[in-house]
Structure 1
Amino acid sequence: MTPSMTTAFSSFHMPERQDKPRRSGLSMMIDWGMGTDRQADTLNSAGHYIDFAKIAAGIARFLPRDVLVEKLALYTAQDVSTSPGGLFAELALSSGRYEEFVDEVLAVGFTGIEVSDNLLDLTPRDKAKAITHARAQGLKVFGEVGKKHAVQDDDTFIADVANCLEAGADWVFLEAAELFVDRVPRRDLFMRLRTEFDSDRLIYELPVVILPGITRDFKHEMTAWMVREMGTEVNLANIEWDELYTTELARRGFAGDTSHPDGAYARAGFTVEEH
């Protein structure tokens, strides 16, 4: 339970979570352009579990400007950092309009930006330059590492993470499509990420269900696996507004399985499942 929040049934002990502003156990909610009424309701009921909100892909281009400004202000008022999708930054970089893009990101009220090369082929130097420029403008910067339609070798992936952090990225998103291949986790890559970098700086993406073959049950299975392997305070991204509480259940080991070795079920004496 977060210290500043009172809940019912508080005598039932759960794994502890940091309160906002958190350094670990960060959650990024993906926003597909939800209306401001639903957004306000979501923030009211679950805002204490949202650290970042991403206006997905290029949706910021299609929202009415006044609605986008209102949405970003609602998030900021609840201490939720905001950023446009990395694919929008890739479009700006590809068309030679990145600096103009950064200026408008600031003008409408975003507090952060994502620099990715999911589809675009960026040199390490160009990616670092984009990160450095955004930082210089006062934005929080999320580097992203990984391709959507390819699998890089471990050394290339690790080098990209290091490049983002050395360039000044505050955090690095790790592309879900590269973390799990054919529905199987890349255990050696996970191990290197955990041993070579500060875990507070890495945010593990969950797959979005609009992608072919991705279902909500597989996404939940991935969430449970990462919590089981890396603990309650693993940083997670791409949580839908209606998955905030199911994700929190998984974080606390209270989501219908006993695989979390320090979860609520384990603490209550259930036998921990072996995986």
Structure 2
Amino acid sequence: MNYPLNNIPERPVKPRNKGITMVMDKGLSLRQTEDFIDVAGIHSDIVKLGWATSFVTPNLKEKLAIYKSAGIPTYFGGTLFEAFIIRNQFDDYCRVLEKFDMEYVEVSDGSITIEHDLKCEFIQKLSKQVTVISEVGSKDAAKIFAPYKWIKLMQAEIEAGSWKVIAEAREGGNVGIYRGSGEVREGLVDEILTQIPEETIIWEAPQKEQQVWFIKLLGSNVNLGNIAPAEVIPLETIRLGLRGDTFDHFLDLAKL
């Protein structure tokens, strides 16, 4: 930090297992990637190249190399995995991971229907060669899962080999763990947390109000995902109680 300030929540140093900020790169140029890392790389734990943007991103290898040289792991969005699976190209997908030297992968079924046992088989296979992050929840707003089902799916995917499980919200933060308005399904989150360790979950929270809600519920070191590159610094100030939304949340005013 640039100067001393007392009563600031403690953040673990990178690489960290808790307090993760997962950033969504939707198509930054090489220069924008370098600028992003220069400003916010220190606060970014992992970067997702959103949905299947890697298929059309120019200079992909060079871009991945920039992130790697900065010590920031990357992975392709789960929609790309689904695009290969629905075309019966799992082996081709594995070759893509090898070609681009990917160390992380997202396994999801938000856009297609995959039998859950089969999804867990994909997780098991991939976890032997890469770190798997799996996503639970549908991108279809009409598909609403009961809390017990979220818990069952998450537990099975962790047992299959997932390092973290993502709670689906899409880029807009208006499906899955959120209502169409962006409001958190509080009862759902509470139920999930009764069975799934919080450090195992990455909550997609692209909207500031959603970030604030989770930080107030679970503290500075909650795992949050789908953060826009320009919002990484603002999010870090929310985590530290240095923005109006959480300004007095972490302060013990009686000791000041």
Same fold (TM over 0.5): yes
Maintained 8 Å contact 1:228/1:259: no
Note closer, same or farther for the CA distance 1:258–1:11 as it changes in structure 2 (3 Å cut): closer
Aligned pair partner of 2:44 in 47, 50, 57: 50
Task: Report the AA paired with residue 196 of structure 1.
Answer: Q
Quick check: 228-237 or 77-86, which moved more? 77-86
Residues 1:62 and 2:60 aligned together: no
Q: State the alpha-carbon separation in 2 of the partners of residues 111 and 159 from structure 1.
A: 27
Q: State the alpha-carbon separation in 2 of the partners of residues 95 and 73 from structure 1.
A: 29
Residues 76-109 of structure 1: per-residue CA shift (max 9 Å, x gap): 2222111101011011111110121122122113
Unpaired stretches in structure 1, ≥5 consecutive residues: 1-6, 208-218, 270-275
After the TM superposition, which residues 127-206 of structure 1 pair with which residues of structure 2 at under 5 Å, given as runs? 127-136=119-128, 138-149=129-140, 150-176=143-169, 177-182=175-180, 183-206=182-205
Aligned pair partner of 1:32 in 3, 13, 26: 26
Q: In the alignment, which residue of structure 2 is the partner of 1:88?
A: 80
Query: Which protein has greater RCO, CA pairs closer than 8 Å, 6+ apart?
Result: 2
Normalised TM-score (structure 1):
0.85
Quick check: 232-241 or 179-188, which moved more? 179-188
1:145 Cα deviation from its structure 2 partner: 0.2
Unpaired stretches in structure 2, ≥5 consecutive residues: 170-174
Q: State the alpha-carbon separation in 2 of the partners of residues 201 and 111 from structure 1.
A: 18
* Same amino acid, percent of matched pairs: 26
Normalised TM-score (structure 2):
0.91
Q: In the alignment, which residue of structure 2 is the partner of 1:210?
A: none
Residues 97-141 of structure 1: per-residue CA shift (max 9 Å, x gap): 0121122122113221111011111111110011111112x2111
1:13 Cα deviation from its structure 2 partner: 3.6
Maintained 8 Å contact 1:227/1:260: no
